[in-house]
Chains A and B, each alone.
Chain A
Amino acid sequence: MELNKLGVIEANKKYIDGEFSAVEMVNACIESIKEHADKNAVIEVFDDAICCAEKLDAKREAKEKLGKLAGTVVLVKDNILVKGKKATASSNFLKNFESIYSATVVNKMLSEDAIILGRTNMDEFAMGSDGSSSIYGKTKNAIDDNYSAGGSSSGSAVAVKLNDCTFALGTDTGGSIRFPASYNGVCGVKPTYGTVSRNGVYAYASSFNQVGPITKNAKDSAYVLEIIAGVDQMDMTTLNYQAYDFSSLIGEDVSGKVYAVEKNISSLIKDKECESYFNALVDFIKAKGGVIKEIEIDNILRVGDVYKLVAYAEASSNLSRYDGLKYTTQAQDCLSAQEIYVKSRSQGFGKEVKKRIMLGNYILSKKEVYAKAKNLQQLIINSYNEKMQGVDCLLLPTSFGVAPKASENRQECILGVLANVLRAPSISIPYAKNKEGLPLGVQIMAKELDEKKIYQLAVSIEKNYGEVR
């Protein structure tokens, strides 16, 4: 049995049944990480992971109750805090930062006996979509080095694909879980805004950001999301639900369900390969008894504009806390506090981060632009909710094709940011491979808090549309 290839539910069951030890599982993942070191996905393996595994094995030996993640190994994106460990947001500015507390999501996983093995590479402060703006260097695509790994949760997606862990956590502000999941052929979900606590996660654009699991299949995704979701008094934007049900519709077929495609987005698909694979999936769902309906969301082509104005403005505000005094690196030989701020920030931040902070401050200096963008966001949400009445899920490609070449800059912002602007849940699952063996992802969205509908369809596609992973 290759332990590192096990999914979450399977690993938990086999571990509880005594089929392997946690130490064996951790060692299998560490061996995989070493084997794939050239991919640059995992930037640190925590030195106490084996010790944590030994403690878990002792707990099992003592016949104590084991948690829902016992036997699993998780890697976390480098913007999620783990007490006593480095968390740098892959930025030069935080290269020496060690957290004094753990993020709520980390504590939730630990309370279910997960072993946190290490941290994964990402675009600096989660600002990017190809994994290139990292102090640790670019992450390589899991399948072919010549193609982009996607971003910003590049390391988490690549590590899951390469079986360096049982599952990983990423964050998604404008497609940052779903793009890398699609490019590397794994499952990634951006939950409804407010489902998962952001306490202990570096802030970029607070209106849009959510933590989500990256897993080897959709059923595992629902399982992990149920564990990490829930209200948290340390994050007042979490929705007021103690527990969620994301799994209860899994196993139901698609017959009689209504699925939508969006007219404007369909017209943006120029890649013939992407179009034909996507249409074949839609036809398959229709053949299985699903009802396909075309909808048109008002102002949908403006979601990229809303995203830029809101995200950059919030980034400029959120990143103003990094001043070179409290916990970042500090420029040398400064004669005043002002000089420390300016020189430390100028030396600490990378180019893309500086650009977004500058543009954010420019946006905030214009009267009411931020408020107008938020109002337009509400207008688009209202239209989406209206057009989705009686519709179970919206289907769209995760990206306008397979992963782009590593040097290519493809404009597919709208597919990434749509779910964030709508505050809606969206999952990307691999559903096809092209001739070169590169995966294509389909994105399944629903109305806010309708995660169980996206999981129902995602698992159905995985089960019935052929083995593509």
Chain B
Amino acid sequence: MKLDEIKMSADLSKLEFSEEELLGFASEFDEIDEVIKRVEGVSCDVEYKIPVKEYADLKEDVVEPSYSREEILKNAPRKDSISFILPKVVE
């Protein structure tokens, strides 16, 4: 497994690692490549079926009371009384 492929997965995952840490994942990625090869090697002429009819009916698309702004912001690490706070993106 090439380091740049592992790095690409780290970037997609929004995770950062040292080069040494990334190399530590190499055997896991090699193993997943083997898993992919095995699955692709099985002759499979069926498609996955979601038994939709058996699942719950969808909710009616109507406006209902929801959580208050205060509740939604309750666990935010940085907030004011109405918003999540992010670093400025426009000066």
Contacts and interface: CB of A to CB of B under 8 A. Distances in A.
- Bound pair: A and B? yes
Interface of A: 96-98, 100-101, 194, 231-233, 235-240, 299, 302, 305-306, 308-309, 312, 316, 320, 323-330, 334-337, 339-343, 345-346, 349, 354-355, 357-363, 365-366, 369, 371-379, 382
Contacts of B55: 194, 236-240
A361 B39 contact: no
Contacts of B57: 233, 240
Contacts of A236: 55-56, 58
Interface residues of B, number: 45
A354 B89 contact: no
Contacts of B10: 358
Contacts of B67: 100-101
Nearest to A368: B40
Contacts of A369: 36, 39-40
User: What is the interface of chain A mostly: helix, strand, loop, or mixed?
Assistant: helix
Contacts of A361: 9, 12-13
A325 B86 contact: yes
Contact of A340 (B6, B12, B29, B86): B86
Contacts, number: 145
Interface in B5-19: 5-6, 8-10, 12-17
B77 to A, nearest CB: 4
A240 B51 CA distance: 11
B20 interface: no
Interface in B54-69: 54-59, 67
A358 B46 contact: no
25 contacts: A100-B71, A100-B72, A231-B56, A233-B57, A233-B58, A239-B56, A240-B54, A240-B56, A305-B39, A308-B35, A326-B75, A330-B77, A337-B87, A342-B15, A342-B16, A345-B14, A345-B15, A346-B15, A362-B9, A362-B32, A363-B32, A366-B36, A369-B40, A371-B48, A382-B46
A349 B15 contact: yes
B4 interface: no
Nearest to A316: B13
Contacts of A358: 6, 9-10, 13, 15, 25
A306 B77 CA distance: 37
A274 B42 CA distance: 31
A230 to B, nearest CB: 10
B29 A362 contact: yes
A308 B32 contact: yes
A327 B46 contact: no
A84 to B, nearest CB: 10
Contacts of B9: 358-359, 361-362, 365
A340 B71 CA distance: 22
B56 A238 contact: yes
B80 interface: no
